[in-house]
Amino acid sequence: MRNLLTLFFLLSGFLLMAQDSPDVILTTGHNDQVNAMRVTKDGRFLASASNDKQVKIWELATGMEYRTISGTAGRAEQLAFSPDNIHLAATTFNNELLVWNVISGETVYTSTSQNT
């Protein structure tokens, strides 16, 4: 009986909190393990890279996904924004170096190293 009362009070508290107007943030997110994250120096964007071979750019003020960049041949393991936050660079596990324009999502540079 005591456990039932405890459960009732816990659920009542959640119901009361649920009556407030919560912020609703819908994101699709990654569908696999995240390997790297990087925040811009001005704190506006966060980039995340995953085993799903996608890089996602998030607007931190809203929590909304700003852009998804697909098409890497392998999973990105490291990310870096340019000092002006216009470009995002990534290295992949299969020795690719990729650079994208953050605003357009366009690939502006690719290179593959033959060294292993």
What's the pLDDT score for residue 33? 80
> Could you state, in order of their start, the residue ranges of all structural domains in the chain?
30-112
Phi, psi of 58 (to 5 degrees): -115, 140
Residues of the chain above pLDDT 90, percent: 34
User: What pLDDT does residue 80 have?
Assistant: 96
3-class secondary structure, 65? strand
Per-residue model confidence as pLDDT tens digits over 38-84: 999 999 999 998 888 888 898 999 988 898 888 677 788 899 999 99
What's residue 81's pLDDT? 96
Cα–Cα distance between 89 and 107 in angstroms, integer? Answer: 10
Give the class (CATH, top level) of 30-112. Answer: mainly beta
